[in-house]
Amino acid sequence: MQIVLSPPGLFGTFLRGTIHGFSAVLMCVAGMVLLIACVNLASLLLARAADRRRDTAIRLALGAPRGRLVRQLLTESFVLSLAGGAAGLLLAAWLTGLLAAWSPPIDVPVIPAVGLDWRVMIFAVLVSLATGVLFGLAPALQSARAELAPALKNEAVAERLRRFHVRDALVAAQIALSVVLLVGSVLVVRSLQHALNLNLGFEPRHAASVSFDLSLQGYDNARQNEFERRILERVRAMPGIESAGTTTGLPLSLNWSNNTVFAEGKPVPRAADATLAAMYNISPGYLRAAQTRLVAGRDLNDGDKPGGRAVALVNREFARELFAGENPVGKRFSYNAAKPEWVEIVGVVEDGKYRSLGERPTPAVFQPIAQNGAGPITVVARSSSSIPMPEDQMVSLLRRAVAELDPAMPVYEAGSLTDQLGLVLFPARIAASVLGAFGLLAIVLAATGVYGIMAYAVARRTREIGIRMALGANAGQVLRVVLAHTAILVAVGTVAGVGLALAAGRLFSQIIYGVSATDPVTYALAIALMALVAVTASWFPVRRAISVDPVTALRTE
């Protein structure tokens, strides 16, 4: 026997790894969104500083100290970041109120304990102020270092469109970080889609279940067996019910147990290396009701009674680990190597998921419930797939069947098998929702950055565009010049973003399953979406550029 110590909370170790992984990814993603916003702010401040270049030069020419100008510009960015932080705290207070009132769609009473903590508020204020100062420092220093003669003549308008500046690098950085978030968002969405179509070892559609505990009501083994027999007779006789069976626990539920197993005639491994198998007690008919496929041997039947020959079904992974290369049907195993009580394998079923969707193939044993007794019992019923019965109607029939046999019997976990998957799918759905929201925010910020740099470039070079068009350049040539600048920024940012996403693959792999962190389809979708966002953000500035009137443009300065 193995004893595993589990820390308290979060159902022991059931969801701890998933939640820790998701929390780490969430913090990194939130940091990237913050960085994108900061880069966007720095880009806008640089553009604003460039527009005030002549004003700054006049102040310097009149004797203003450069340090005072730097302090003035830093004060402006400081106030801007403080106002943004205050607005963010108000939004956070509203969102935490909504989250506290929200109930997760799972059959477990979970109350989110969320609220504004003073330590979190102080951290948010400090981050807001620090980002405002740090990302406002470069524009302030650039303005203070302006050369007086060129700035007073406003020679910046003579710069060529294809020349790159610091703000161009910032836009490329925005695009790179946005690509990382897009890749993560697409990965978790595809992972959720994969989870919904994953082979679970049973079919949740068109099936329902209801659970109760006979031992808590004083039933002994004989009465438990009689109650189980009678309720299965009632359920199977109901119109529209195709099959029914009982089990001590459904796969992917909170009710599970493990035990070590040892094969007859094989060397006994060390305790640390012993095979651990998931344990289920089932009745005849359960495999049909759950639609778990039998791949070899026979199913359990009514002949597997108490006092008879101990038999069991095992899954393929059990057969691979204990009887590699051999036919397991007819072989025997035990749960105790020192004092073995042999159990004969009479059939092999397909592999499935037993504790979590992301688990590796796990050995499993299905024993006759009549031979091993039962405490909590779950009745599983399936309707015909050709004419399926509404699942809520099936649940009502199951509740009624229990009440007719024992009106005082309390039931729990009554619902469709699809609803029972709410707990294991909950982390995937939350990850898809949160990363999807962050990805959408990243797209908006990236589009803002591309639009800002394009609009600024066109506005600053209006005279140059007018000169080109006055000398005979057509709209297509101007369009190529403007778009070439943006295309290079988008290409550089996208390549850098793909590299960062590949490097962050190990981080994303903690919250995805069934999809590779380097999935080429995901990267192709993210790149295509980023390109579409860049083209859309560039459209209005480009239209403004090709519609410039040469005469008006030449009079701009």
The whole-model pTM stands at 0.68
Lowest mean pLDDT, pick from 288-292, 464-468, 492-496 = 464-468
Rounded Cα gap, residues 78 and 69, in angstroms = 14
Same domain, 339 and 308: yes
Same domain, 403 and 342: yes
Q: Is the pLDDT of residue 117 over 80?
A: no
Same domain, 240 and 357: yes
Structural domain including 187 reads 171-198+424-557
Same domain, 429 and 447: yes
Model pLDDT, residue 292: 92
Rounded Cα gap, residues 522 and 508, in angstroms = 13
Choose the most confident range, by mean pLDDT, from 251-260, 272-281, 480-489, 503-512.
Answer: 272-281
Considering its fold, how many domains does the chain have in total? 2
The reply to whether 102 falls in a domain is: no
Beta strand spans in 273-331 (E): 275-282, 294-297, 311-315
Model pLDDT, residue 314: 94
Same domain, 191 and 320: no
**Percent of the chain topping pLDDT 90:** 12
Final residue in a domain of this structure, among 405, 420, 435: 420
- Torsion 429-432-438-440 (CA) sign: negative
More confident residue, 349 or 522: 349
CA 375 from centroid of its chain's CA atoms: 36
Instruction: Determine the average pLDDT of the residues in 259-275.
Output: 84
User: pLDDT, tens digit, for every residue of 270-306?
Assistant: 877 888 899 999 999 999 999 999 999 999 988 888 8
Same domain, 409 and 464: no
Same domain, 243 and 386: yes
Final residue in a domain of this structure, among 403, 420, 437: 420
* Cβ neighbours, 10 Å, residue 451: 19
More confident residue, 313 or 511: 313
The reply to whether 46 falls in a domain is: no
Do the Cβ atoms of 54 and 147 come closer than 8 Å?
Answer: no
What DSSP letter does each residue of 228-283 carry, written as one string? HHHHHHHHHHSTTEEEEEEES--TTSS--EEEEEEETTSPPPPGGGSEEEEEEEE-
Helices (H), 369-512: 369-372, 391-405, 417-420, 422-460, 462-470, 475-503, 505-508
Same domain, 454 and 336: no
The reply to whether 247 falls in a domain is: yes
Model pLDDT, residue 102: 64
Q: Is the pLDDT of residue 493 over 50?
A: yes
The reply to whether 44 falls in a domain is: no
User: pLDDT, tens digit, for every residue of 148-173?
Assistant: 555 445 554 444 444 556 667 777 88
Q: How confident is the model at residue 105 (pLDDT cuts 50, 70, 90)?
A: low
Establish how many alpha carbons lie within 13 A of residue 144's alpha carbon, considering only the half-sphere containing its beta carbon: 17
Q: Output the average pLDDT for the chain.
A: 78
Model pLDDT, residue 288: 92
User: pLDDT, tens digit, for every residue of 297-321?
Assistant: 999 988 888 878 899 999 999 999 9
Please choose, from the candidates 236, 232, 235, the residue with its C-alpha nearest in 3D space to the C-alpha of residue 246: 232
The reply to whether 35 falls in a domain is: no
Instruction: Determine the average pLDDT of the residues in 124-149.
Output: 69
Model pLDDT, residue 54: 64
User: pLDDT, tens digit, for every residue of 6-41?
Assistant: 555 545 555 555 666 667 777 777 777 877 777 777
Kindly state the tokens that stand for 476.
């297509």
What's the one-letter identity of residue 173? A
Do the Cβ atoms of 214 and 377 come closer than 8 Å?
Answer: yes
Residue 311 phi, psi dihedral angles, 5° rounding: -130, 170
Model pLDDT, residue 298: 92
Rounded Cα gap, residues 300 and 382, in angstroms = 18
Residue 143 phi, psi dihedral angles, 5° rounding: -65, -40
The reply to whether 19 falls in a domain is: no
The reply to whether 314 falls in a domain is: yes
The reply to whether 142 falls in a domain is: no
Q: Is the pLDDT of residue 347 over 90?
A: yes
Same domain, 331 and 368: yes
Same domain, 316 and 460: no
Give Cβ neighbours of residue 6 (< 8 Å, ≥ 6 apart). 12, 13
Please choose, from the candidates 390, 416, 525, 456, the residue with its C-alpha nearest in 3D space to the C-alpha of residue 171: 456
Q: How confident is the model at residue 382 (pLDDT cuts 50, 70, 90)?
A: very high
Q: Is the pLDDT of residue 438 over 90?
A: no
Q: Is the pLDDT of residue 326 over 90?
A: no
Model pLDDT, residue 146: 55
Rounded Cα gap, residues 409 and 425, in angstroms = 30
Please write down the long-range contacts of 405-408, taking CB distance under 8 Å and 24 or more positions apart: 405/227, 405/230, 405/231, 405/234, 406/217, 406/227, 408/217
Q: Is the pLDDT of residue 530 over 80?
A: yes
Give Cβ neighbours of residue 417 (< 8 Å, ≥ 6 apart). 202, 203, 204, 205, 207, 208, 209, 250, 290, 380
Choose the most confident range, by mean pLDDT, from 133-142, 446-455, 512-521.
Answer: 512-521
Rounded Cα gap, residues 527 and 283, in angstroms = 52
Final residue in a domain of this structure, among 386, 420, 454: 420
Model pLDDT, residue 200: 85
Residue whose tokens read 């008006």: 552
| Strand 364-368 versus strand 275-282 pairing type | parallel
Same domain, 328 and 250: yes
Same domain, 384 and 521: no
Residue 158 DSSP label: G
CA 228 from centroid of its chain's CA atoms: 40
